[in-house]
Amino acid sequence: MVIVEGVPAYLYLDEEYIAHHLGRRQRGYGRGGRQQIERDHAHIQTGVRHGYTLGSPIGMLIENRDWSQEGRNQRVTRIRPGHADLPGAMKYGFHDVRNSLERASARETAARVAAGAVAMKLLEEFGIKLHSHVLSIGRVKANPPDQGAIDWDAVEESPVHCADSDVADQMMAEVDAAREAGDTVGGVVEVIAEGVPIGLGSHVHWDRKIDAKISQALMSINAVKAVSIGEGWDLLDRWGSEFQDVIEPWQRKTNRAGGTEGGMTSGTPLVARFVIKPIATLHNPLPSVDLDTGEPVQAHFERSDVCQAPPAGVIGEAMMALVLADAFMEKFGGDSIPETKRNFEGYQATVGPRLRYS
């Protein structure tokens, strides 16, 4: 069950729109057998009438088919390193690792994508659009065009969700090589929000800084190990004059800072990158310990993905959308879309014409 609160009334919302994003999360080269079993669909239960939101919490139900498969309810004691297995069992006193294994599974990201789709729909009303693409898988790095020149339809078609079609085959070969070796491979993903107004977030409250909120949201995705805003990781070898996005009479020609300054959106596209680690469940399992006996064993193996970088971008979009929608409603408020639009347009009339990004 997913519950989304804070959405104003009169937002048109249908299950097909949410299903579209859930379907994007299920695809991608390197996914395992579970995606053949699941048929993700969020059934809207509350908060929507005749296709429009009511301002009340939106409740959605997504079925889990996998649990009914053969063996999926069996007790697990062979702890898998790199998962919630060991700390989960110790923290809650579980004798069955499955109690934490299932809840910690990235299956829960289907719920995030459904909630994120509602946030995206809200943001679209105000001209904000989100995208993502894969920058690297294992040792294969993409050389994508500038953000404004990316063909997003082609990225959607790419099995590795990559904007550089020249390296897509190499990325798939990297996944195949890992699979054949009984191993796994991670990657780097970029999430972009276009059309974001200037001034979301806060330079006054540390806990409302938009870059900090986005980082926390992306870091919370299962297996994410590093987050950067804009060119954050690449700035170490630059001097100050080479890094800042110079302001010209109401436009910027660069976006190295990734669309934030002082904890607020700066009017340029929001850009964040994250590193997702190689999956910890290996076909050639790692050495571990049995929870019952304390004896050395090989870690438990269960049907698993080989690479999750392509779907991780879709989850990243959802997480960024949730943060942006929150910050947007905090700034503009309103109980209905027309009311929020009046507030937004009043603000844009004072700042909008003053800044362009090219």
Binding residues for ligand FMN, rule: CB under 6 A, are 32, 82-84, 104-106, 109, 221-223, 277, 279-281, 304-305, 308, 311-312, 315
Distance CA 202, CA 212 (A): 10
Taking the least distance from each CB to ligand FMN, the nearer of 73 and 343 is 73
Pairing of strands 260-261, 251-252: unpaired
Least distance between ligand FMN and beta carbon 290 (Å): 19
**Interior/surface letters 319-329, b for 16+ CB within 10 angstroms, e for the rest:** bbbbbbbbbbb
d(CA 11, CA 13): 6
Structure tokens at 306: 């080989």
CA distances from 59 to 4, 43, 286 (A): 7, 8, 40
We find the least distance from the C-beta atom of residue 257 to ligand FMN, in angstroms, to be: 27
Nearest Cα neighbor of 306 from 219, 217, 177 is: 177
100/202 with CB nearer ligand FMN: 100
What is the number of alpha carbons within 13 Å of residue 297 lying toward its C-beta? 16
The phi and psi torsions of 276 (rounded to 5 degrees) equal -110, 130
Judged by CB, which is closer to ligand FMN: 263, or 310? 310
Cβ(100)–Cβ(222) below 8 Å: no
For residue 225, the minimal CB distance to ligand FMN (Å) is: 7
DSSP string, 160-182: T--S-TTTHHHHHHHHHHHHHTT
How are beta strands 356-357 and 251-252 bridged, if at all?
parallel
Nearer to ligand FMN, 83 or 161 (CB): 83
Residue 83: CB minimum distance to ligand FMN, A = 5
The least CB distance from residue 75 to ligand FMN, in Å, is: 18
Nearer to ligand FMN, 196 or 223 (CB): 223
Q: Which is nearer to ligand FMN, 170 or 304 (CB)?
A: 304
Q: How far is the CB of 314 from ligand FMN (least distance, A)?
A: 8
The label of the residue with tokens 């299962």 reads 222
Residue 63 Cβ, how far from ligand FMN at the closest point, in Å?
18
Question: Toward ligand FMN, which CB reaches closer, 282 or 291?
Answer: 282
